[in-house]
């Protein structure tokens, strides 16, 4: 499948698959002998979570949340949860699965919300980390690819809800 005409290939299908294999290995080792709840952040993390979950060698429960963020000119970000998990997280190992961390506002909000449920542990796995763009501190525990900036599409990442289905990740030109 061709990428967008106004974009350059940033991470190939092969490179993404390699990162996911590594992340799945790290997660499998970190939680050995334990059960794990993956909390997948819709919609962007949907392809990533589907590929990751099938490579983690642990008993998993899959849960989904959806966040909605209103961003004003200052990008202070006002995040709300429009879909919550459907199981109790109390006393459980919880791993948030995100496609990308950018300003950090979505994850900072979600982290607080989930911590309030009293999980045994709460960690974050993100495929892409745009560290330089943080507005609020959020650290990922399992990190795929670090990228400085630019607007990315494909493999779940969208431009106005489109281009999520591209199997690789492209950086759009200015």
Ligand X SMILES: O=P(O)(O)OC[C@H]1O[C@H](OP(=O)(O)OP(=O)(O)O)[C@H](O)[C@@H]1O
Site string for ligand X, 78-117 (x = CB under 6 A): --------------------xxxxxxxxx-----------
Rounded CA-CA distance 13/62 in Å is 24
**Residue choice 6, 69, 80, 173 for contact with ligand X (CB under 6 A):** 69
In the annotation, is 84 catalytic? no
Q: Smaller CB distance to ligand HPA: residue 117 or 131?
A: 131
Cα–Cα distance, 155 to 4 (Å, whole number) = 13
Q: Is 157 in the site for ligand HPA (CB under 6 A)?
A: yes
Binding positions for ligand HPA, 93-112, rule CB under 6 A: 100, 102
Element (H, E) at 46: helix 46-53
Strands (E) across the chain are located at 7-11, 36-42, 60-70, 78-83, 93-101, 121-129, 142-146, 152-153, 169-172
Judged by beta carbon, residue 138 or residue 157, the one nearer ligand HPA is 157
Distance, in Å, from the CA atom of 153 to the CA atom of 4, rounded to the nearest integer, reads 9
Pairing type for strands 36-42 and 78-83 reads: unpaired
Q: Please state the closest distance from residue 49 (CB atom) to ligand HPA, in A.
A: 16
156 binds Mg ion (CB under 5 A): no
Q: Is the peptide bond before 43 cis (omega within 30 degrees of 0)?
A: yes
* Interface with ligand HPA, residue 46, by CB under 6 A: no
Contact between 44 and Mg ion (CB under 5 A)?
Answer: yes
Residue 166 CB, shortest distance to ligand X, in Å, is 14
- Is residue 45 at the binding interface for ligand HPA, with CB under 6 A as the rule? no
Among all chains, which residue has been given the structure tokens 């990922």? 140
**Whose structure tokens read 């990315």?**
152
The residues that touch ligand HPA, with contacts defined as CB under 6 A, are: 100, 102, 151-152, 157-158
Residues with active-site annotation = 102
The residues that touch Mg ion, with contacts defined as CB under 5 A, are: 41, 44
């Amino acid at each position: 499948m061709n990428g967008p005409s106004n974009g350059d290939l940033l991470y190939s299908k092969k490179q993404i698959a390699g990162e996911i294999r590594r992340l799945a290995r790290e997660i499998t080792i970190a939680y050995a002998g334990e059960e794990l709840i993956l909390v997948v952040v819709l919609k962007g993390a949907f392809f990533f979570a589907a590929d990751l979950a099938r490579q983690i060698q642990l008993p998993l429960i899959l849960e989904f949340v959806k966040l909605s963020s209103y961003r004003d000119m200052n990008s202070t970000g006002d995040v709300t949860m429009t879909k919550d998990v459907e199981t109790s997280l109390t006393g459980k190992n919880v791993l948030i699965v995100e496609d990308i961390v950018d300003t950090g506002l979505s994850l900072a909000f979600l982290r607080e919300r989930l911590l309030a449920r009293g999980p045994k542990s709460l960690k974050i796995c993100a495929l892409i980390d745009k560290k330089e763009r943080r507005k609020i501190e959020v650290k990922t525990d399992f990190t795929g690819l670090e990228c400085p900036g630019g607007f990315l599409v494909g493999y779940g990442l969208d431009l106005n809800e489109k281009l999520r289905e591209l199997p690789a990740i492209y950086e759009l030109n200015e």
